[in-house]
Structure 1
Amino acid sequence: MTSEPNEEQDVPWAMQLVVHRDRVNPAREVDVAEAAARAVVTLLADERSAPGGPWHEAVRTWRDVQIRKLVRRADGKRWDDVQQLPGVTVRQEGAGDHGDAIVRAFVPAPVQPLPRALHKLQVSGTNFPEDGDSAASDAVVTVEVAPGLGISSGKLAAQCGHAAQLAWETVPAVVRQRWAEDGYRVRVVFPSRAEWDAARRPVTVTDAGLTELDGPTDTTRAWW
């Protein structure tokens, strides 16, 4: 089992994720979760995060202590403003009549002080429509979500991001290469309680219970 670390820092670090919110044609929750997972891995795999790259020290510091992620939402000018901050943006095509899921992952940094463009974005209450299953049936990596969590779409996106990150750090090199060639697509699924209890996966995320959950809780798992 692989867990999310929960060591404390004087000023905690986090990877900020911002989800684009289309008020007229919002993305589905499952698409947002998948796009968030892809954005996390895309940033980690970026050459700028590799040794010698401009993002490497920030990514290393964050990974060595706590893989915390905070999900915010933005639209209009606020979405445009955060594009100027270092990071990567992933767009995932929406299913049916729903809008595309667009998520930008930012280079990890202390949670305070934040750049003004990020600081003024809301964290709590980020929710998207729960409408249908994943359309990514042939993705290399699958993330499954524990039943009965009762968490917001933002928290779900963060947990799927954790699972995808740990998968990226765990998969054999040949699988990682195949995943890269597929654009790091992820399939997010919601098993029944019986299915969850019966399965064993190579990666499990245990959330520390700092937000939304009451104490340490297994939230997501990944396999390939």
Structure 2
Amino acid sequence: MSVDSFHVPHPEPGGVMPWAMQLVVYRDRHEPARQVDVCEATARAVVALLDDARSAEGGPWHDAVQHWVGGHIRKLVRRADGKRWDDVQLLEGVSVEQAGPADFGVAAARAFVPGPEEPQPKAIDKLQIAGTNFPDEGVSLSVDALAVVEVSPLVEMTSGKMAAQCAHAAQRLYESAGTDGDPESTRASWRADGFRLQVDFPSVEQWHRTPRPVSIIDAGFTELGGLTETTRAYWRH
């Protein structure tokens, strides 16, 4: 089943509706952002929500975030422009904007507090999931970022799917920060830099030759048929 056609939630055992984090990316039809910038903005929005004080213990988002993190971590990317983008800003979440080269639009993404896949608020539910693509042009401008996410050269993904996978890799990197040192120091440095990260596209040879500490295996519920490694992540030292 492909998300390019439609999306159907996969119930948990007992028929319980699975939880997901909804993500909305901004798409300007006349001046679209680049794919790499959209992927980076989406990943930054997810990490920013996880790091937000409202997601900390005692915060209003804490229980929802922890319930989601403790299960199958699903993310669904939709696209919006114009008024529809403005409408979703009224829902609880975190938005990130990121400029690209002069010839392209600004990348923007909003991550929302996780909840059951259905039902969704009308402002989100009416947004399209299928076939979200942005221009695949150029490389990341964040070559000095603390975090690097690599996209597998062995699979094909829509921009929406790729953004979700990059966000997943960034999330796991955030959660595993400082495993060899001080996690709070690592996160504080990343936070001070606005959670910037570089999304990189290694060659097949580089991908096979260089394992990374974070590896994301997609469950295959949407575009990809079966378990597939999609992204990796590491800290730049």
Partner of 2:188: 177
Q: How does 1:50-61 map to 2 (within 5 A)?
A: 50-61=56-67
Q: Partner letter of residue 116 of structure 1?
A: K
Q: Partner letter of residue 24 of structure 1?
A: H
Q: Give the deviation of 1:17 after TM superposition.
A: 0.6
Equivalent of 1:197 in 187, 205, 208: 208
Q: State yes or no: 1:8 paired with 2:12.
A: yes
Partner of 1:97: 103
% identical aligned pairs? 58
Q: Give the deviation of 1:96 after TM superposition.
A: 2.9
Bigger shift: 91-100 or 41-50? 91-100
| Aligned mates of 2:188, 2:82 — CA distance in 1 | 36
Equivalent of 1:216 in 216, 220, 227: 227
Q: Secondary structure at the match of 2:174?
A: helix
Partner of 2:4: none
Equivalent of 1:187 in 157, 176, 198: 198
RMSD value over aligned CA atoms?
1.2
Q: Secondary structure at the match of 2:70?
A: helix
CA deviation digits over 1:142-177, x for unaligned, max 9? 000110311100000000000000000001122211
Structure 1: which 5+ residue stretches go unaligned? 1-5
Q: Give the deviation of 1:7 after TM superposition.
A: 9.4
| Aligned mates of 2:78, 2:176 — CA distance in 1 | 27
TM, length-normalised to structure 2? 0.90
Q: Give the deviation of 1:8 after TM superposition.
A: 3.0
Q: State yes or no: 1:206 paired with 2:217.
A: yes
Q: State yes or no: 1:25 paired with 2:36.
A: no
| Aligned mates of 2:11, 2:213 — CA distance in 1 | 23
Q: Partner letter of residue 221 of structure 2?
A: L
Structure 2: which 5+ residue stretches go unaligned? 1-9
CA deviation digits over 1:106-125, x for unaligned, max 9? 00010111101100000011
Q: How does 1:120-135 map to 2 (within 5 A)?
A: 120-135=126-141
| Aligned mates of 2:216, 2:148 — CA distance in 1 | 13
Q: How does 1:9-158 map to 2 (within 5 A)?
A: 10-158=16-164
Q: How many pairs align?
A: 219
TM, length-normalised to structure 1? 0.95
